[in-house]
Amino acid sequence: NFDSRPSKSNVNLIVIHNISLPPRIYEGNNIIDLFTNKLNPDNHEYFKSISNLKVSSHFLIRRDGSLFQFVSCLERAWHAGESSWNQINNCNDFSIGIELEGSDYDAFETKQYVSLKELIQSLINEYPIKDIAGHSDIAPSRKTDPGPYFEWDTIKNCFDELINKN
């Protein structure tokens, strides 16, 4: 679930999301199946409402800190939907989406933050990243993730330090 970025698009934004399938269940391959169009709608009642969605993310960080990549950062993943950042619409055009396995109702794991920081460092070293935002920041009328348990202070401090190094 991706396509080409617009030709003049600069990747300069990281967008943080949360996801769990079904909601608040943190096991199995349902997220992977959703991003690869293999989610079986008969496996859970909730899946019937989302099985036809065509969504993806560049990266997924599981509860144990393991990292999966679904889409090249050079391509446009379909993670942000209708969105805007700094008065520029269509954040998928210029952002990298990172999904954390989690929800708005549970704290994230320390291992996830360790992986996230390492990934952010790699992305800053490779792309002209200028900002980091939550899905709720770029689509505030539609989205609430990464949610109230996400440790923004920790990540923004790390992000600022890395940006100032480069």
Active-site residue set: 99
Q: Scanning the structure block, which residue is given the tokens 């997924």?
A: 60
Cis peptide before 146 (omega within 30 of 0): yes
Residues 6+ apart with CB under 8 A from 157: none
Pull the structure tokens for residue 26: 């943190």
- Residues 71 and 53: their CA atoms lie apart, in Å, by 16
- Residues 153 and 39: their CA atoms lie apart, in Å, by 35
